[in-house]
Amino acid sequence: MARYLGIDVGSISTKMVIAAPDNVIAAWCYLPTAGNPSEALRRGLERLETELGEDSSIDGIAVTGSGRKLTGEMLGAGIIKNEITCQMISALNFEPCVQTIVEIGGQDAKMIVVRRGLVADFSMNSVCAAGTGSFLDHQAARLNITLDEMSLLAEASRNPVTINATCTVFAESDMITRQQSGCRKEDIVYGLCKALVANFRRSVIQSKPVQVPVVFQGGVAHNRGIIRAFREEMGMDVIVPPFPELTGAHGAALLCMAEKTESAIRLGKLKRLVN
């Protein structure tokens, strides 16, 4: 069975997906980049090798993400593609009629407008990370809760507070004020989720049309509070794939499969290219 490796090397995390025909994901891994993409790549390949075996053959490699050029050169990837295209390909595979893609990762947030299976328009956040996953990580740590706890608390909120999330400083100031005023933690957390969505709407969506179906991708899509906020703030449903954090790598693997690039190599040898 043919297997195609998609790799998404981001500033916060590195994702790998090995896809096979008939939408089979043979293996995957997700690990922090931690400022060292080469080491993250090596550890990721090591995990895939452990799962599938050193002699498992990869029939093609495609790379995306901010570290795609370096990674592509190291591995001799047949395809080096931007994140917008790869996110769209994964979304279309999951929801063929998708018209809008919302993707929020560790340090960036995107909206992709899809028409007839092609990218019609897209926009991204500015250099500020206030509306991204790292922002939520920071606030969860400050509240001494995990991201899973944040998700559950947001779902339980009945009276969310108003928080200014245009930047981290403003958000922290508002959160401290709400805590000192005796507001419930779940209402503070969901207020933060609503503020992130409002920030996304203002800085990323702007005046672009948002048409259903809307697919929500990226690691932040695991947060049920953010999903709730999107549904309430936007007045429409959002569809979340089973593995939203892997969609960039998954789209890269699917692109490689579609173009049938010829670069067959065993996982063991692939790992040695990084060492």
State pLDDT tens for residues 43-100: 999 999 999 987 888 999 999 999 999 999 999 999 999 999 999 999 999 999 999 9
Task: Determine the topology of domain 4-85+247-274 in CATH.
Answer: Nucleotidyltransferase; domain 5 (3.30.420)
Please say if the pLDDT value at position 128 is more than 70. no
- What pLDDT does 270 receive? 86
For the 97-238 domain, the top CATH level (class) is: alpha beta
**pTM beyond 0.75, yes or no:** yes
Region 13-34: what's the mean pLDDT?
93
Query: What end-to-end distance do the CA atoms of the chain give, in Å?
Result: 28
Enumerate the domain spans of the chain: 4-85+247-274, 97-238
Question: Which helix H or strand E contains 120, and what residues bound it?
Answer: strand 118-124
Q: What's at 88, amino acid-wise?
A: M
Band of residue 190 on the pLDDT scale cut at 50, 70, 90? very high
- What pLDDT does 261 receive? 60
Which region, left, alpha or beta, applies to residue 260 given φ > 0 means left and ψ of -120 to 50 means alpha?
A: left
Task: Tell me how far apart the alpha carbons of residues 185 and 189 are, in angstroms, rounded to a whole number.
Answer: 6
Topology agreement, domain 4-85+247-274 and domain 97-238: yes
Task: Tell me how far apart the alpha carbons of residues 192 and 119 are, in angstroms, rounded to a whole number.
Answer: 31
